């Protein structure tokens, strides 16, 4: 089962408006999207900084 926080992160992984997620950690991707003015979700940043979530994209190691 997937908890609500992991579901939020999976949705972030699958949202291509923030750029590709392979070969880059979720935090690096969030920071890149922020630098580029793409307005990534603040709740994703909070979840990643809390340290309880996987930093790897949902697709990492599967593609």
Structure tokens, 43: 């709740």
The pLDDT tens digits for 7-16 are 999 999 999 9
Positive/negative CA dihedral, 33, 31, 49, 56: positive
Question: Is pLDDT above 80 for 54?
Answer: no
pTM assigned to the model? 0.83
CA separation for the pair 38, 49 (Å, rounded): 19
Let me know: does 47 contact 10? Beta carbons within 8 Å: no
- What is the residue extent of each domain of the chain? 4-50
Structure tokens, 12: 């972030």
Average pLDDT over residues 24-52: 94
Q: Note the pLDDT of residue 55.
A: 74
Q: Of the candidates 34, 26, 33, which has an alpha carbon nearest to the alpha carbon of residue 53?
A: 26
Q: Of the candidates 6, 4, 3, which has an alpha carbon nearest to the alpha carbon of residue 56?
A: 6
């Amino acid at each position: 089962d997937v908890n609500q926080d992991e579901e939020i992160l999976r949705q972030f992984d699958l949202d291509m408006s923030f750029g590709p997620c392979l070969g880059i950690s979720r935090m690096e991707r969030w920071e890149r999207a922020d630098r580029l003015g793409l307005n990534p979700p603040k709740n994703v940043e909070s979840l990643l900084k809390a340290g309880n979530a996987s930093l790897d994209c949902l697709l990492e190691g599967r593609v």
